[in-house]
Structure 1
Amino acid sequence: MDRHQARTRFQALRETRDRVEAAALDAVWAALDTVRPEEILGEWKGGEFDTGHPLNGELAKAGWYGKTFESVHDAKPLMCRDPAGGLYSDLELGKGEASLWTVEFRGESTATMVYDGRPVLDHFKRVDDATLMGIMNGKGVPADGPYYYFFLERVAGAASAGRRSGEDA
C-alpha cells in the first residue's frame, strides 16, 4: 500500500460505523509517513477507531475532546469538555500531562507523546497536514497489542507552526 492508498483507506476506516480490524489499521499505519514532534504543535480534536479495545468508548464518557501540544515539553493529552462546554486538561484522569519525544516504534522513529504519570506512549504518524493517526502503547502491552487506535484532526485556526511548507494534503 502506498501513501495515497493509505490515506484513502484511513478515511474509509474512519467513516465506518462498524468495528474495525486492528490488522487493517496496522496496514495503513505501515504506509504513513513519520512525523517530528515540532511538526505537530497546536490543538487537535480527537476520535477513536472501534477495534474492541477495552478503552473504546471510555474517553468519550470522560468528555475527551482531543490533545494540545503547546511545546515539546508541554503536551496536554486529555483535553476534555466540562458540563458548560469549556475545555480543560484532565490532570486527574491523565495523572498529569505529557511531553513529546521522538521514539522508535515498529522500527521507525516518530513523534510520541510520553505521559508524565502513566506508563503510556501515544505514537503518531501523518495522514495529511491536518490529520494524524495515533497508536497508544504502554507498559505491559505485548509487542502485538492489543493497541488503542485513534486519530487527531488539527483544529482550524489553531497554531500550525509545525506544518511543513509544501507538504501535500
Structure 2
Amino acid sequence: MPPPYELHKKKMVKFVSLNYKHVFSFEYLYERLHEWLIDEGYMTTSDDKWIEKLYLERVSGNGAKQIWVWWRTDKMWPGGFIKYYFDIDFHVLGLTSAEIVHEGNKVKTDKGECEVFVTAYMEIDPSKGWDTNILLKNEYLRNFFLNRIYKAKIEEAEDNLIKDTSRLLGAVKQYFQLESFIPEYAEKPF
C-alpha cells in the first residue's frame, strides 16, 4: 500500500468547474481573475513568469468565437516545504458582441457560454531538499516523517488549498452573480 503522502509528486487536491451561459464580459472576467491571483500571491504584478500557456481563438463564419485559455500558476506555502499549483482553464463557446442597457446606459459586452475549470494540486518538497538529507534518504524514515510527524502540517496545507480553490470559484460566481456559499468580497457585485 503506497503512503498517503509522497515527495515530489503532484497530488490533485480539488477539481471544480462552472458553466455560465448569458451576457458577460470575457475581458473583464479575465482581468478580474488575474487580479485575484495577484491578491492571493499566486503571481505578482512585476512577475516575469507568464501564466498563460495557451490562448486559442477560433472565429466561425457567423462571427461567433470559440476561445480556450490555459493558466498555470503556483505559490509556495509558508515554510517552503509545500507548493500549491493551480490549473485554470477557460472555454468560451459562441462568444458574440452584444449591447445591453445597464442603469440607463448602453454598454457593449459579450454573449455566450463560458466554462471555467479549476484544478488544484500540491507537491511536497518541490526543491528536493529531503533528497540531500542523509537521514531522510531512507525510505522508511521518510515515510515516517511524512505520514506521522508532518501529517498535521500537510493536512493543514491541503485544507488551505481547498479554501483557496473555493474562494477562487466564489470570485467567479460573484462575477457571474450566481449564488455562492462563500462570500468573496463585501463590495457590490461587478
Q: When the two structures are superposed, what TM-score results if normalisation uses the length of structure 2?
A: 0.25
Q: Which has the larger radius of gyration?
A: 2
Structure with more relative contact order (C-alpha pairs < 8 Å, separation 6 or more) = 2
Which of the two has greater helix per residue?
Answer: 2
TM-score, scaled relative to structure 1: 0.28
